[in-house]
Amino acid sequence: MGEVLILGAGMMGSAFSFPLADAGHTVRLVGTHLDRDWISSLRETGVHPKLKMKLPESVIPFTHDQLGEALTYKPDLIVLGVNSAGVDWAVQQLGPLLKTPTPTLMLSKGLRARNNTLQILPDIVRDGLAGYGINQVPVGAIGGPCIAGELAARRHTSVVMAYSDATVLERILPLVVASYYHARPSTDIIGVEACAALKNLFAIAVGYSAGLLERLGKASNGALMHNLAAGLFTQALAEIGPLVSLIGGAPASVHGLAGTGDLYVTCQAGRNSRLGYLLGRGLCYSDAKANYMAGDTIEGAELALAIGPTLENLFQQGSLRRTVLPLAAAIIDAISHDLPLQLLWEAFHQNLAI
């Protein structure tokens, strides 16, 4: 079978080795400079300390300084399992070592602001590698509801794989087929990647409902706040659509696995929802981050900080109407300006178009 290299030995990068190994591939799992203890554990016991699972026998761990050695096996596919903040680092590591434009698949989720617009991370990687003389690298992405622990436990998981080139997609998709890992094809890489990034931002708002419930308590009849959570979930989808369209993605992706599916699973648990919970309790972002989540990378908050200024510029220029994105604007105010998260329900129901 094939050779696959995964760069990033965190939970998702390591979990992704399961379907690849079960499909018959040899997987070379290369940790980042932050993953050295995890790589040591894998070498000693085969068990990933965060996943709490033994990785398949065909997964071979490497430290980040052994990336060149891992690449000598000429992988058929490179998978980036770093977080969004590590994408530039990954390009800097791969660029000097790559000899050919090897197809690359991103598990990383995020958007970047560039030239007063938003850009998906696969474009950042492709352009970054071109700077090292590795041109026309096919860079795709995986989106959809996928919790790393469930994937490592071989629970049934449905995702969408996106490449802009259908012929590349047809070649790469069969590499990840496993009995429990179900990947659908898409050529809407902008829509898939934008949805995958934006769900982290909006999961903060949905998590807010749990914190508000704790702050205010149950009603006298025992009523909770499921109505609030559902309303915020629906508003999030209504705003992901215009943002996806803004950067050239297809609306259909919003209502598929990359949008609705991924938002749903992200709202069930995780760091973005936990931050929302803390904001719902009345904390400001700086307090929540410093005192409760100091060691956590919160992808939704990182995204708000990365794209907030660009969205605010577009609001001021009139290129984008704040009234179309009241929830996104509220989240950006809460994160970028350290303000209390305020839900403007009247604005949610104006039903305005972009």
Write down the H helix ranges in the chain: 11-15, 17-22, 36-45, 67-71, 87-94, 121-130, 148-152, 166-172, 189-216, 226-246, 251-254, 262-268, 271-280, 285-292, 299-317, 326-336, 345-348
Residue whose pair of structure tokens reads 């979990």 in the numeric block: 15
157-162 and 139-143 strand pairing: antiparallel
CA 84/CA 124 separation, integer angstroms: 11
Amino acid 128 reads G
Residue written as tokens 């939704």?
300
3-state secondary structure of 182: strand
d(C-alpha 67, C-alpha 96), whole Å: 11
CA 275 to chain centre: 16
Q: Out of 52, 99, 199, 289, pick the active-site residue.
A: 199
- Determine whether 54 is an active site residue: no
Strand partners, 62: 30
Backbone φ and ψ of 246, nearest 5°: -55, -40
Best CA proximity match to 275, nearest among 181, 333, 193, 203: 203
Amino acid letter at 256? Answer: G
Determine the Cα angle at 10 with ends 6 and 112, to 5°. Answer: 80
Cα angle 166-74-150, degrees, rounded to a multiple of 5: 65
Catalytically annotated residues = 199
